[in-house]
Homo-oligomer: A and B are copies of this chain.
Amino acid sequence: MPFEVTILGSSSATPTVDRHPSAQLLNIRDTHVLIDCGEATQNQMLHYRISHSRIAAIFISHLHGDHYLGLNGLLATINFQGRDKPLDIFAPAPLENMILDHFKYSGTHLKFPLRFHPTQNENREKIWDSDKFEVYSIPLIHRIPTTGFVFKEKVGLRHINVEACQNLDVPYAHYPELQEGRDYIDENGTVHLNSALTLPPSEVKSYAYVSDTRYFEELAKEIENVNMLYHEATFLNELKDRADETLHTTALDAGRMAGLAQVKKLLIGHYSARYRDLTPLLEEAKTLFENSHLAIEGSRYSVD
């Protein structure tokens, strides 16, 4: 099952000619969600031929313009194209009225249910629980209330050990029960232990989205062991003072956090517009965490 993220925007506060404000599309086990929705996200989706129609939910980390100003335009386009299924939005509470004000003054009448779920940044909270995965909001430390998000697959069904089942002539009808972990009792009343007929479920994978925040060690426990961490890396360490002042993170500290949290893979992004060449940011992160990668718009990264 797919678990991958496509980068739609990689820029910090101001866009550049070839970089756009924060947005990414996450495909988690065939559920598509958007994480942040900076201005021109819908144009980026057009550019990369990504359909709006499959988006089930939108997660907004905070109310700086570069993380949400594309939302009303995207909702209008989605509405225009005749959606009827619900759309969930997880975002800081004030956004709800800002959306409603726009609807009111633009005379917008949604043809689909918009379900708004306010987030808080006091503590970790499970904000979505589906049969295949769960989503947590986690507190970050930025100039305004900000949350990161952790997307975690649920333990799936056990896999059938086909050879073992065929040897015992287990009827197909029993397979679903075996996948759920139950033992098999044959027609003679003999009990066959589940562990002899199945293999463990696939490894559970997880993805963490961390943008924007200052570096703080306590974050590590919230994102510990995730398979892929997206972390902002707005500045090089030579601008550490600027990072501290604006409550952002340097590429060096993004690498440090990846190591501290023992994640498998680090993806950095949210680059300051001052950097045309991103290589120095990547090299800096790599000095502390080797498996670091640049988030490049239009590229898709597997959480595996």
Q: How far is the CB of A89 from chain B (nearest CB, A)?
A: 15
A residues 56-78 in Cβ contact with B at 8 Å: 63-66, 69-70, 72-73, 76-77
Q: Is the CB of B102 within 8 A of A13?
A: no
Q: Is A17 positioned at the interface, with any CB of B under 8 Å from its CB?
A: yes
Contact with B along A100-139 (1 / 0, CB 8 A): 0110111110000000000000000000000000000000
Q: Is A40 positioned at the interface, with any CB of B under 8 Å from its CB?
A: yes
Query: Which residue of chain B lies nearest to A73 when distances are taken between CB atoms in the complex?
Result: B39
Q: Is the CB of A101 within 8 A of B102?
A: no
A residues 138-157 in Cβ contact with B at 8 Å: 143-144
Of B14, B16, B92, B106, the residue contacting A80 (CB under 8 A) is: B14
- With a cutoff of 8 Å between Cβ atoms, the chain B residues found around residue A17 in the complex are 46-47
Q: Is the CB of B105 within 8 A of A94?
A: yes
Q: How far is the CB of A229 from chain B (nearest CB, A)?
A: 26
Contact with B along A34-57 (1 / 0, CB 8 A): 000001101100110000000000
Taken together as a complex, chains A and B put the C-alpha atoms of A81 and B106 apart, in Å, by 30
Q: Is the CB of B105 within 8 A of A144?
A: yes
Taken together as a complex, chains A and B put the C-alpha atoms of A81 and B273 apart, in Å, by 12
- With a cutoff of 8 Å between Cβ atoms, the chain B residues found around residue A20 in the complex are 43
A20-B43, A40-B43 are contacts. A102–B106 as well, Cβ < 8 Å? Answer: no
Q: What is the copy number of this chain in the assembly?
A: 2
Number of residues of chain A lying within 8 A (CB) of chain B? 39
- With a cutoff of 8 Å between Cβ atoms, the chain B residues found around residue A97 in the complex are 101
Q: Is A298 positioned at the interface, with any CB of B under 8 Å from its CB?
A: no
A92-B105, A144-B105 are contacts. A43–B15 as well, Cβ < 8 Å? Answer: yes
- With a cutoff of 8 Å between Cβ atoms, the chain B residues found around residue A106 in the complex are 63-65, 144
Taken together as a complex, chains A and B put the C-alpha atoms of A39 and B68 apart, in Å, by 12
Contact with B along A170-205 (1 / 0, CB 8 A): 000000000000000000000000000000000000
A21, A65, A72, A80 — most chain B CB neighbours (10 Å): A65
Q: Is the CB of A94 within 8 A of B101?
A: yes
Taken together as a complex, chains A and B put the C-alpha atoms of A63 and B105 apart, in Å, by 6
Nearest 5 A/B pairs, CB to CB = A40-B40, A39-B73, A63-B105, A94-B105, A107-B144
Starting from the known contacts A14-B80, A63-B106, 8 additional A-B residue pairs (CB-CB under 8 Å) come to A13-B77, A15-B42, A17-B47, A39-B73, A63-B105, A65-B106, A95-B105, A98-B98
